[in-house]
Structure 1
């Protein structure tokens, strides 16, 4: 796993204020290579153009939602092994199981804090420092 300063992260979130909060949280962890997308379709295009080491994606977005985006990332061989953390307000067991079935590496219940970001990211990628 690259150090935080070398890590490329893609944040896919339809709410601009939540996206900005996540980006700011990543910056406090020393992550500077951050791409942003407002929905799954834009996230998929971003991954095809400049693959990230890790995707942080909202679950519920207009157009391509997070689960559909996850499935598309996993179906494409060059991106299939990318770390993927789902951001959601839903904690129902059936939803979490569905995400696991499609290959999510971890999930974060909103609201997102830098401490939780670090914890969940390190479970997927290893130590950030």
Structure 2
């Protein structure tokens, strides 16, 4: 499924994994690595994750729903309300299957779900389903970064 995508591109992608349980973060990071995605940053709560997102360009976010300080749905709202991150692909990782909560998440603009417990194949399918969006977001970040560098070069030359 993800084999159709360039290995270098997968390694370049910047993924943020957010979960307050260190063991769960390790599982997700290991699965991403087995899929060829190795540029991963981790956070243990939504507050830290929000700071990271504000200061770093990410291609994809995988976030637990239930966390201290700022939970997954609140973080998703903050991301969607920010002009700079409103299109950032966001996968909610949760054991929460309450219909009202799932509807709220969808209405807020979640890109996908991984229901715990999940296996590598489920993660690969979820990523394959939205990988074109992730690639587009990653390339947009690259284009924007190039434009920022060009603008700074022009300012420096002036």
| TM-score tier after normalising by the smaller chain length | over 0.9
Aligned equivalents of 2:64, 2:117: Cα separation in 1: 11
2:93 aligns with one of 87, 93, 101: 87
> CA deviation digits over 1:8-37, x for unaligned, max 9?
110010000001110011000011110100
The answer to whether the 8 Å contact 1:83/1:125 transfers is no
Conservation of the 8 A alpha-carbon contact between 1:16 and 1:38: yes
Partner Cα distance (1:127, 1:76) in 2: 18
Higher strand share: 1
**CA apart distance, 1:103:** 0.6
**2: CA distance, partners of 1:66 / 1:108:** 13
Q: Distance in 2 between matches of 1:127 and 1:94?
A: 26
CA distance in 2, matches of 1:17, 1:99: 25
Would the aligned equivalents of 1:12 and 1:37 in 2 still touch at CA under 8 Å?
yes
Aligned equivalents of 1:49 and 1:116: distance in 2? Answer: 30
Is the 8 Å Cα contact of residues 14 and 59 (structure 2) preserved in structure 1?
yes
Q: TM-score, normalised by structure 2?
A: 0.76
Q: Structure 1: state its 5+ residue gaps.
A: none
TM-score (norm 1): 0.92
Q: Tell me the number of residue pairs that the alignment of Structure 1 and Structure 2 aligns.
A: 128
More relative contact order, 1 or 2 (CA 8 Å, 6+ apart): 1
Runs of 4+ residues deviating >3 angstroms: none
